[in-house]
Each structure stands twice: as structure tokens, then as C-alpha cells.
Amino acid sequence: AQSVTQLDSHVSVSEGTPVLLRCNYSSSYSPSLFWYVQHPNKGLQLLLKYTSAATLVKGINGFEAEFKKSETSFHLTKPSAHMSDAAEYFCVVSELKTSYDKVIFGPGTSLSVIP
Amino acid sequence: DTGVSQDPRHKITKRGQNVTFRCDPISEHNRLYWYRQTLGQGPEFLTYFQNEAQLEKSRLLSDRFSAERPKGSFSTLEIQRTEQGDSAMYLCASSHYTRKGAEAFFGQGTRLTVV
């Protein structure tokens, strides 16, 4: 069975400082991994995805994530936080299983950015 | 706008009433997902379709819930005899399955409040 753990329910950073949002997963198969962002009263938006190509994935708005199979991790980083980055972030695993896959969300990490 | 659209955006209903939500996916997408998201939680998988076939249903989907995608295009999610515990955001997503890890695009959701 697949599962996703986001180690921090809430992260607070100062504007201009680095962001690290942690994600660990378990999967019986070779998974695809995603990060989604959800701003208040907005739909979920894809930040980036890993699908067995390069292990370092670059996404929108300066975010990137590194897939580390040995650590079963897919942490999200950004060198310098911006006020507009304040939102809820979800790590997501999609597992190819026979002829279909299923998308499982982690519990989310709320990011606050302090001016 | 050619994204995923959901209708209505908000629904307030009395306990015991039936409600139906509609999702229009991106037109070329053959996969359609329904999720439920409660306050402070990540979206939870409910069910998904490939074309008109409902391939999986979560245990969260009690007998009061039914979903259809009759022509492989739009989908409806009906909740019968609503309960206060059904209050949540109901999210629809779609993707195009031709390769592993295809991105799911989300609608803005239908917020259900059962009073």
C-alpha cells in the first residue's frame, strides 16, 4: 500500500529565507511524486512532478524537489521565500498498479511567511 | 477557460436532503477523480473513472454516495440523506492516461455545508 507522510504540519519562515517542506512516501511500486499548492479559496495547483526521469525536479515559482529513493523522500525547497508563497502544500504519490493508478495526498503542510 | 469546472461552488442543505454535484473535466481527459477535503486535511480519494467505467471506490464512499460518468465526459456525485459529517469540500480532478504519472488538474471544488 502506498502512503505519504509530511513531517511538519506547519512551517514558518521569514521572507527571503530558504523554505524546506519535508515529504516521505512508501510505495510497493515505482511511484510518481508531485507537489501541489493550495491557496485559500483557490483550487489545487501543480508545482512540480517526478516521473522517473531526473531526480532533481524544478517547478514553478522557483520551487524544486529532489527524489531520493534510498531515503524514500521527496522534499520541496525554495532558496528564498516570498510572501505569496504562504499557502498549504501537499505531497502526492501516484502509483501505477496493474492498469490504473491512484493519487494519494499527504496531510499537508501549512507555510507561513513572515515579513 | 478550459480547465476543470465544478458546479455549484457552494451548497447549503438540510440534513436528510439529497444533493448532486457536477464536474466537467478537461475535454480530452479520460480519467476523472473525486476527492473529499475537510478543514485542515489533505484531499481523500473517493472514486475514479476511466472513460465511463468506475474503476475504484474508496471505503469512504458509503452506500449513500453514488458517482456516475455516463458518457465518459462530465460526472456527477450524488449524496443521499445527507448527514452533518458530509460537510466538506468535494474536489474533482481529471487527467489523460497515456503515460505514467500524468498530471491531475483540479477544479475549485464544491463546498457542501449540511445544517
Write out pLDDT tens, residues B75-111: 999 999 999 999 999 999 998 876 555 678 899 999 9
With residues binned 3-state (H G I as helix, E B as strand, rest as coil), the percentages for chain B, rounded to 5, are 5, 50, 50
Distance CA B115, CA B106 (A): 27
Counting one residue from A and one from B, how many pairs have CB atoms under 8 Å apart? 61
**A103·B41 Cβ contact <8 A:** no
The residue among A10, A22, A26 whose CA lies nearest residue A93 is A26
| 3 state SS of A1 | coil
**A103·B93 Cβ contact <8 A:** yes
Q: Which residues of A touch B56 (CB under 8 A)?
A: 100, 102
The set of cell numbers assigned to A77 is 525547497
**B44·A105 Cβ contact <8 A:** yes
The set of cell numbers assigned to B79 is 449524496
Task: Calculate what percentage of chain B has a pLDDT beyond 90.
Answer: 64
Closest approach of A35 to chain B, Cα-based (Å): 11
Closest approach of B43 to chain A, Cα-based (Å): 6
* Segment-wise mean pLDDT, segments of 10 residues, chain A, 115 residues: 88 97 86 90 87 86 94 96 96 68 84 96
